[in-house]
Chains A and B, each alone.
Chain A
């Protein structure tokens, strides 16, 4: 039984795969300009290593695997960026109160929680604003998990992080988002 060997047709790449790759990257990066750049870089890298293409996978799978590398590289870059906006502290980090709420960050009762409907456009834009205020690394992981609803294992594999690492990031993001919504939406 012969296995079909795939070939590359580089002149058709943009027509055939640009949208697919763009959707793939924007659902992980959440930044349209950057997502476009990554698609372009993927095509460049594909051309460069076209000779290494063995035809075992389809053209699209092969291009996606290149794009995945680019996304990991981007994640590592933002992860190691010195002096990037850190998420604000919410708990004591040392001393006898370690792990307890900082007084000024303690959750307050929400005044109008029951009146709010999820269909509200204003609410949606406030949520977006709060998510955009998160440091890039937190926003990326939080959105992949919550908005795109990827499986934990998949995110860990794609970004090359451990699951406990993922939950710490999700936790910090959610504590930050809760505070942001409290200040700007509920008790505003």
Chain B
């Protein structure tokens, strides 16, 4: 019965990573909590993972604000190769 709830550290941290996106199931979270009772390392991992998630969130906001454009030169070059390509 208890074996059902036994996780390796590899599995536990996978659930923890999934949970950073709010996508771990209740059952997974329960087995994770049980794992923490006997494994302090994975508990540290989880704490640090949460800090990193905040950092990534900041990164994400930054990235989203950037709009990428091709330069006019690049567009002209692209037009040229496309016209050549059409002729072939």
Complex: chain A residue closest to B20, CB-CB? A174
Is A23 in contact with B67, judged by CB distance below 8 angstroms?
A: yes
The total of interchain contacts (Cβ-Cβ below 8 angstroms) comes to 112
Can you show 30 pairs from A to B with CB atoms below 8 A apart?
A10-B82, A14-B75, A14-B78, A18-B75, A18-B78, A19-B68, A26-B68, A32-B68, A44-B82, A47-B82, A90-B10, A99-B9, A100-B10, A101-B9, A106-B41, A110-B48, A118-B54, A118-B58, A123-B55, A124-B59, A147-B56, A147-B59, A148-B64, A149-B60, A167-B14, A168-B14, A171-B18, A174-B20, A174-B52, A178-B52
Within 8 A of A (CB), among B10-52: 10-11, 13-14, 17-18, 20-21, 23, 41, 44-45, 48-49, 51-52
Total interface residues on B, CB under 8 Å, equals 40
Given A36-B74, A100-B8, 13 other A-B residues pairs in contact with their CB atoms under 8 A: A22-B69, A39-B78, A43-B82, A44-B82, A99-B11, A106-B41, A113-B51, A119-B58, A128-B59, A152-B21, A171-B17, A174-B52, A178-B45
Judged by a CB distance under 8 angstroms, whether A40 is at the interface is: yes
Compute how far the CA of A119 lies from the CA of B62 in the bound complex, rounded to whole angstroms. 10
Compute how far the CA of A15 lies from the CA of B70 in the bound complex, rounded to whole angstroms. 10
Compute how far the CA of A147 lies from the CA of B62 in the bound complex, rounded to whole angstroms. 9
Complex: chain B residue closest to A15, CB-CB? B75
Within 8 A of B (CB), among A67-117: 90-91, 98-101, 106-107, 109-110, 113, 116
- Say which size band chain A's interface belongs to: 35 or more
Per-residue B-contact encoding for A123-164, CB less than 8 Å = 1, 0 else:
110011000000000000000011111001000000000000
Q: Which single member of A99, A123, A145, A182 contacts B21 (CB below 8 Å)?
A: A145
Query: Which label, helix, strand, loop or mixed, suits the secondary structure of the B interface?
Result: helix
Nearest Cβ on chain B to A32's Cβ, whole angstroms: 8
Judged by a CB distance under 8 angstroms, whether A170 is at the interface is: yes
Per-residue B-contact encoding for A23-47, CB less than 8 Å = 1, 0 else:
1001000001001100110011001
Is B63 in contact with A181, judged by CB distance below 8 angstroms?
A: no
Report which A residues bind B (CB closer than 8 A). 10, 13-15, 18-19, 22-23, 26, 32, 35-36, 39-40, 43-44, 47, 90-91, 98-101, 106-107, 109-110, 113, 116, 118-119, 123-124, 127-128, 145-149, 152, 167-168, 170-171, 174-175, 177-178, 181-182
